[in-house]
Amino acid sequence: MLHPTLSTLPGEVLEATLQQLDYISLLQCYSVCKLFKTTIDESSELQYIIELAHDGMIDHHSLGLSHAERLNRLRDLRTAWNNLAWKTQSVIPMHGLCHAYELVEGLFVKGNGANNVSMSWLPSSTKEGHEIHREDLKMQARDFAIDPGQNLIVFIDDATSNAAFAPDGRIINLHLRTISTHEAHESASQPVLKFTIPPNNVLGTFVRTVMLELAEDMLAVFVCTWNYRLLIWNWKKDILVIDSYLPGHELPRLTWDFSFITPRAYIMTSREANGSIEIFGIESETSKPPTPIASLQLPELDENVTPRSITTHTGPLNTPSSNQLFVRSPESRMHVICIQYNISFSPQGRYCMFIRNGTFLSYLSLHASGKTPAGTQVPWKAWGPKNTRFSINKTPFAWLRYVHGQRVVYPQETGNSMGTLQIMDFNMWPDVSKSTDSKTVKTICTRPTTLNTAHIFQRRVVTHLPYRTIVREVPDNYSAFMIDEDKIIGLKAQGVDDEELKELHVYTF
């Protein structure tokens, strides 16, 4: 009696079996036999698994669509981005000053630094946009963070004119509200979180800069008074998880910037010595000190050269909404690290480094498995050359939200009568550099970038992370570009520092 094998199974049973595999295993099955290859090629569900992973996406919500329909939507979106072939263009008028702003999942929120905000749900290829203006927030909203998937907006209430030199310190309030109604958020155990700024002999309780960042149930406040301070709450349970003023929670020396990499881990940049990226893990329901995971060292510098600033920026780590078919995988998100060295303010002193989030996550995995001790110091040559792309930053990024997923949209270079849109895409699948589309110019970069020492580095900096660029002319010049999953937004602003936002030009894929 013959024993059944995979090759003798009915086709639908074989397909259901293969559906249990991840995309790497499915790709390996291609070379096993002709039957497996044919089954995978002819199955929209198996193709969907493979192509989602190639695009750095994960399945989220079917919305009642079949796998074939979801696969077609994935392919349509990929083709549109590869050719910068947007489906619709819209102009959204803006009014007044823009002291704070945010773009997450198609929602653009603008505040004037006082007590009102404008919320613009930008149009998509299938839906029209709409707006809400809140004229009296009953607070001095200096900054805010949003997560449309949780219907959440967090305002930091900072009336700087009120007791900037309070002798006993000043209380700062964080208001947890719903985007839709401006009521207290129903998932927050406390509608207002508070922290105190202790007084300083010179600066009093003045807040120089402040940044809010959300990652699911975690809320971070990175604030600079007379020094930097990081606070992280579990905002749903009103638990202060991290406060760098507490013993054991101290920041790395010469800290400059912060970003979540998961809701339970974050990075901080440090200007100490050659500069570094510090990776930390945190608990979600205790106030235990953060766990130092690894210290990724930046290229070694020449004598008397030090980093002036090291900023980091990435796409939002928001909660996906129920109307999204697929969302970005944690590994595929890009971080852009902008470094200014202290030789001068010339372009030769400014650099950008591009890193996948998966690089940081790999060190979390190594630590969790016990393969590396806490706080492992990793020299540049051991991690940087193969995992990054280091380049001169000729045109600084003036506005944020220029990176989303694996794409970065570059600011326009001045002096052109026509605007130029340039996308840097770190998803190398498929190779579209030979496309004959006449509206775009595409290049693929697999050769290393080599930076000369330039009186900055001890030796040449060679990096290998592959990428491609897609360039297309647009009919206008913009102050900046922003990018979302299915949109590019051109900003028209005026003023000495572009502080008055006039229009958003929305290109929808």
Is the pLDDT confidence value at 468 over 90?
yes
Is the pLDDT confidence value at 496 over 70?
no
* Torsion region of 84: left, alpha or beta (phi above 0 gives left; psi -120 to 50 gives alpha): left
Residue 289 has what DSSP assignment? Answer: P
> Domain coordinates of the chain in residue numbers?
6-81, 93-251
Contact 410, 422 (CB under 8 A): yes
Mean pLDDT, the chain, as a whole number?
A: 90
pLDDT in tens, 304-356: 899 999 999 999 999 998 888 999 999 999 999 999 998 754 556 899 999 99
Contact 94, 77 (CB under 8 A): no
- Overall average pLDDT of the 75-93 stretch: 93
* Burial class of 331 by CB neighbour count within 10 A (0 to 12, 13 to 18, 19+): middle
Is the pLDDT confidence value at 417 over 80?
no
Nearest to 179 by CA among 258, 105, 260: 105
Is the pLDDT confidence value at 1 over 70?
no
* Residue 73, both tokens: 């939507």
* Residue 138, both tokens: 């009953």
pLDDT at position 164: 58
CA 452 centroid distance within chain: 29
Q: Counting every residue, how long is the chain?
A: 509
110, β-bridge pairs? 101, 118
Residue 150 has what DSSP assignment? Answer: G
- Helices 23-30 & 44-54, crossing angle to 10 degrees? 120
- Overall average pLDDT of the 407-434 stretch: 78
For 323, other C-beta atoms within 10 Å of its C-beta total: 12
pLDDT in tens, 369-416: 999 998 999 999 999 999 999 999 877 888 999 999 999 999 876 555
pLDDT at position 126: 83
Which contiguous run of DSSP H or E holds residue 194? strand 192-197
Q: Lowest-pLDDT range, 32-46, 303-317, 452-466?
A: 32-46
DSSP states along 256-273 = EEEEEEETTEEEEEE-ST
For 502, other C-beta atoms within 10 Å of its C-beta total: 16
Residue 448 has what DSSP assignment? Answer: P
Contact 26, 36 (CB under 8 A): no
- The contacts of residue 5 (CB under 8 Å, 6+ apart) are none
**Which residue has better confidence, 413 or 73?**
73
pLDDT at position 151: 97
Q: Lowest-pLDDT range, 13-17, 105-109, 192-196, 330-334?
A: 13-17
Q: Measured between alpha carbons, how far is 118 from 42 in angstroms, rounded to an integer?
A: 48
- The model carries a pTM of 0.92
Query: E strands of 140-227, at which residues?
Result: 141-147, 152-157, 170-178, 192-197, 209-215, 218-224
- CATH topology for 6-81 is Monooxygenase (1.20.1280)
pLDDT at position 280: 97
Task: Tell me the percentage of the chain whose pLDDT exceeds 70.
Answer: 93
